[in-house]
Structure 1
Amino acid sequence: MGVKSKAAAAILVLLLFLGSLWLQGGLDYHWDSCLKGYNQVNKLHQLSNSSGADRAEGLKECPGQTFQVALLLSHLLATPAYTSDVLLQPYLSSWDELVKFMEALGPMVGLISKEIESKTTIIRQLALLAEENPEAELLPDTINSVSTDGGTKNHLEASKHSDAYHSVRSMIWVELNRGLVDFNHQTDSGCRTLLRLHRALLWLKLFLEKLAETPVAARLKSPSELCREAYQSTLANHHAWFVRRAAELAFIAMPERGFFFRLVCVQNQEELRIILNRVVKATEEVYDRTQKALEENGMLDLP
């Protein structure tokens, strides 16, 4: 094997290793424990997103592609609930589609998606276990501690008949009530896992926002540049030096802008801007609601 081949192999091995550190700067893989029940959980947590699909009308299916922007938008639009809550089933379904989006960008970026997929699996696994062991029920007098805004009453009526992992706020209350959240040490709680996904969602939202921009005088930056900029202002703040270097290596291999036209079935930058702005707006709503719930419960810095 030549020197160049050895170097390429070494870089690939490094990326494979650092992919597992992606979302937290020192990530822990839980493939064996979390993937066992994945298929079963996925079947139990299918959600009909008819309302979201209605509001996503006008976006056509892209034939021959795994990622579908119309499906992503329908999941995102179905996620907000009440006045400040987030439904977990369509939230996780949105991530399923975002994983397909990242995998479409090539094997290097696809490595990142594997870690994100493991996180969604953890929450689904916890939801399944909660359904099988519903020892902590959501009670009317305790829902108030979770939903503190003007929609408390509506949230209470909807949540007291639902499962523990019905929404972000119900999950927060149940995990706090059961002592599953540790503010000083790493745990496998759904809240800690959600925080990692939450940070990654901000990175992707900012990347899509930048990709949609059409500067008047300046040249269009490459997707690689835009993704790097989005990363540096979001996830990089939570990563160690060698993880940041690995991320930048992955971004170098990102496809050119024309690939994104084909990925969402558009012909030019203006059409891309219109579609991505709809996705960004829906993502921002989900992000802001999740941010508020985590912030109210002091969970933005869970280890």
Structure 2
Amino acid sequence: MGVKRKAAAAILVLLLSLGSLWLYGGLDYHWDSCLKGYNQVNRVLHLSNSSGPDVVKNPPVLSICSGQNFQASVLVSHLLAAPVHTSDVLLQPYLSSWDELVKFMDSLGPMVSLISTEIESKTTVIRQLALQSEEGPEAEFGPNVNIINSQTGEKKPLKAPQHSDDYRSVRSMIRSELDRAVVDFHHQTDSGCRTLLRLHRALLWLKLFLQKLAESPRAGRLRSPSELCREAYQSTLAQHHTWLVRRAAELAFIAMPERGFFFKLLCVQNQEELSVLLNRVVVIIGEVYDRTQRAMEENGMLDLP
């Protein structure tokens, strides 16, 4: 028992240290892994051309999954709303997508959900920058925002406004911060662009993990989610992390739930249904990721310190 207690204590210390590193160093040097969204409940979702080239031949019909906090249908609705014009991404639905992805990570257990605190800190940075560019006291972002009548005490929900022109989209934010010399290409800053890059890297990790989770069996067996998540991490975020953070991440992946948990989380019965659903989600995430990648690459922002 003494050995087990010492091992458990060592793991706890490592994970607590990792959490501290996330908070003080950010996702770029530690674990890079989502506006708490406007509600879109129980509506049929069809993939359209605005989400990318011919996403699927048969558009999915996704409904609310009863009893679950994370909802694939809500995630998809936000992701579909993010692409605009031909090459841009709206920040409000982009951040709302992250809100739903945070719920996804939280559902995977306390070890993995440590990352959601850091993700939320990054989305908060962009929201605060957007708020600073807004005029008026009602420029709030996020869910459950109410205004109270001083005479009656009645609470009325405020509508989540659009971002200002500066922070309306990925490209408008890039233009604005470059014009105002907010982005530093040599030193760390809390610019929206630098913060977005950390979220962008994390999105690639999640995209790859979901893609691998949708894979067919290899040699007659399905690989464990733990193995798949570790593999996705090693080819993405691990490249930006220190040795200590990589080791701590490996410990967190050990606690990943088994595949049956994901069937329940996504309201599917088997691997075939899971694959169909996740492949559609991955394609939509890919469209948002690719647009963001192009915008940042065109402005030399893929290696911001």
Per the normalisation by structure 2, the TM-score is 0.80
| Displacement of 1:219 | 1.3
**Cα distance, 1:166–1:47 mapped onto 2, change above 3 Å:** farther
CA displacement, residues 172-223 of structure 1 (integer Å, 9 cap, x when unaligned): 0111111110000000000000000000000000000000011364411000
Amino acid at match of 2:301: M
**Cα distance, 1:238–1:216 mapped onto 2, change above 3 Å:** closer
Please list, as runs of the form range in 1=range in 2, the aligned pairs for 1:171-186 lying within 5 A after superposition: 171-186=173-188
- Match for residue 119 of structure 1 among 117, 122, 134: 122
Equivalent residue for 1:74?
A: 77
CA contact (8 A) 1:172 1:191 kept: yes
> In structure 1, what is the Cα distance between the partners aligned to 2:124 and 2:132?
12
- Match for residue 85 of structure 1 among 85, 88, 92: 88
> In structure 2, what is the Cα distance between the partners aligned to 1:113 and 1:106?
11
Identity %: 75
Tell me which moved more, 166-175 or 209-218: 209-218
Please list, as runs of the form range in 1=range in 2, the aligned pairs for 1:149-168 lying within 5 A after superposition: 162-168=164-170
Aligned residues: 260
CA contact (8 A) 2:31 2:115 kept: no
Please list, as runs of the form range in 1=range in 2, the aligned pairs for 1:233-244 lying within 5 A after superposition: 233-244=235-246
**Cα distance, 1:21–1:53 mapped onto 2, change above 3 Å:** farther
> In structure 1, what is the Cα distance between the partners aligned to 2:284 and 2:5?
44
Q: Which runs of 5+ in 1 are unaligned?
A: 29-40, 134-160
Equivalent residue for 2:5?
A: 5
| Displacement of 1:26 | 4.6
Equivalent residue for 1:54?
A: 45
**Cα distance, 1:48–1:4 mapped onto 2, change above 3 Å:** closer
Please list, as runs of the form range in 1=range in 2, the aligned pairs for 1:1-303 lying within 5 A after superposition: 2-22=2-22, 23-26=27-30, 47=38, 54-55=45-46, 58-132=61-135, 162-215=164-217, 217-303=219-305
| Displacement of 1:48 | 7.2
CA contact (8 A) 1:16 1:111 kept: no
Per the normalisation by structure 1, the TM-score is 0.80
Greater fraction of residues in helix: 1
Amino acid at match of 2:178: L
Q: Which runs of 5+ in 2 are unaligned?
A: 48-59, 137-162
> In structure 2, what is the Cα distance between the partners aligned to 1:79 and 1:268?
30
